[in-house]
Amino acid sequence: MILGGSGFIGRHAVAAALARGLDVTIGSRHPRRIDHKLPAIARDRPRIAVHMERMNSEEHWRDIVRKHDAVINCVGILRQRGRETYEAVHHRAVAALARACRERRLVHVSALGLEAPARSRFLTSKRRGEVALMDSPADWYLVRPSLLDGHGGFGAEWLQRVAQWPVHPLPNAARGRIAAFDVSELGECLCALATAPRTDAAADERIVELGGPHSLSLLEYLRALRRSPSPAPLLPIPDWLARLTSHVCDVLHLTPFSFGHWELLQRDNLPSRNRAAEWLGREPASVGRNSAL
Ligand SMILES: NC(=O)c1ccc[n+]([C@@H]2O[C@H](COP(=O)([O-])OP(=O)(O)OC[C@H]3O[C@@H](n4cnc5c(N)ncnc54)[C@H](OP(=O)(O)O)[C@@H]3O)[C@@H](O)[C@H]2O)c1
């Protein structure tokens, strides 16, 4: 079962699972309204209604989990709406799902950079979800990808657009480096993890940090995504303005730039041990058109 199977990561996990010949169920809040988001080969797959914000106890998950050999959780929210709070979706539902999985394989998609102190509730709720997963009886893998590139991602497509602008506006404190990773390769890794034989691996081995082959600053990454051969000049943005903009974007639900991302940009978003080649069975691809940068 792939939760969030209509999302950017989830769609690629679904495609990779079908390419492997796996029998896939897709979890979504709106199972009847996601045809246009799914790869064509996935449109006849069974779907199940899943509202993470309402599924905060083991009982909510038990029957769903029992019908599947493995669960891949690709659900995440950038902004809260009503009952869909960070705490409910990123922490309480994950904790309940992990308890319900018991001995079953649960592959949970999280993010890099959550262990450092953070003020953003987007980040702290995701970290609490990680801790609950690791404390659970599930046969878990915790997947932390770097920034993703690919078709159809809210953040990925926004960065692809910004890369074509005549200037590249960047906050002064955005000094963190990223190892941008191809989302379809992430989908392949998720399916490899979901189907890997059971092991008694220690927790460190079950934490799978993934990234592409290059470590780039955000400016270098924008230049790698740029179609024009002439680089756009850097437009430095004062940190106070970047921070204020991130709060405004959060309140108005504008752009993928959030306060959590403002915090993440200030530190490296690199895998401490990149396991992409191990789980792909090959070296990960370079991301971006000028990815020799
Ligand atoms: N994109 C990146 O570069 C990146 C990098 C590292 C980590 N991540 C993490 O990966 C996760 C997924 O990212 P994404 O880019 O794939 O996001 P996305 O495109 O927004 O997909 C999220 C999915 O979650 C589902 N969902 C949202 N709220 C839900 C709820 N209350 N109950 C059940 N399902 C719900 C949605 O499915 P329905 O609308 O069909 O319900 C949607 O398909 C996030 O936790 C994100 O932080 C992303």
Asked whether residue 293 carries a pLDDT value surpassing 50, the answer given is: no
Q: Running DSSP on this structure, what letter comes out for residue 82?
A: T
**CB 52 near ligand 1, within 6 Å:** yes
Distance 221 CA to ligand 1 centre (A): 23
| Structure confidence by residue, pLDDT tens digits, 142-180 | 999 999 999 999 999 999 999 999 999 999 999 999 999
Say how many Å lie between the CA of residue 51 and the centre of ligand 1: 12
Q: How far apart are the first and last CA of the chain?
A: 38
Among protein residues, the one with the nearest Cα to ligand 1's atom 15 is 8
> What is the Cα–Cα distance from 193 to 141, expressed in whole angstroms?
7
Ligand 1 proximity of 7 Cβ (cutoff 6 Å):
yes
Question: Measured in angstroms, how far is the CA atom of residue 231 from the centroid of ligand 1?
Answer: 32
Phi, psi angle pair for 149, to nearest 5°: -120, 155
Average pLDDT, the chain: 96
| 36-78: pLDDT as tens digits | 999 999 999 999 999 999 999 999 999 999 999 999 999 999 9
Q: Is 39 in the pocket of ligand 1 (CB under 6 A)?
A: no
Choose among 5, 69, 68, 76: nearest CA to 41: 5
pLDDT interval class at 290 (50, 70, 90): low
Find out whether the beta carbon of 160 lies less than 6 Å from any atom of ligand 1.
Answer: no
- For 77-87, write each residue's pLDDT tens digit: 999 999 999 99
With a 6 A CB cut-off, is 153 part of the ligand 1 pocket? yes
CA pair distance 15, 214, nearest whole angstrom: 25
Cβ–ligand 1 distance for 28 under 6 Å, the answer yes
Residue 281 has pLDDT above 50, yes or no: yes
Local structure of residue 198 (DSSP, 8 states): P
Q: Which two tokens stand for residue 67?
A: 């019908």
| pLDDT confidence bin for 288, thresholds 50/70/90 | confident
Distance 73 CA to ligand 1 centre (A): 9
Q: Which ligand 1 atom lies nearest to the CA of residue 29?
A: 41
Contacts of 154 (CB under 8 A, 6+ apart): 8, 78, 256
For residue 132, give the H/E element and its range: helix 121-134
The rounded Å distance from CA 234 to ligand 1 centre is 31
Predicted confidence at residue 292, as pLDDT, reads 41
Residues 142/206, Cβ–Cβ less than 8 Å: yes
CA of 174 from ligand 1 middle (Å) equals 24
Q: Which atom of ligand 1 is nearest to the CA of 152?
A: 19
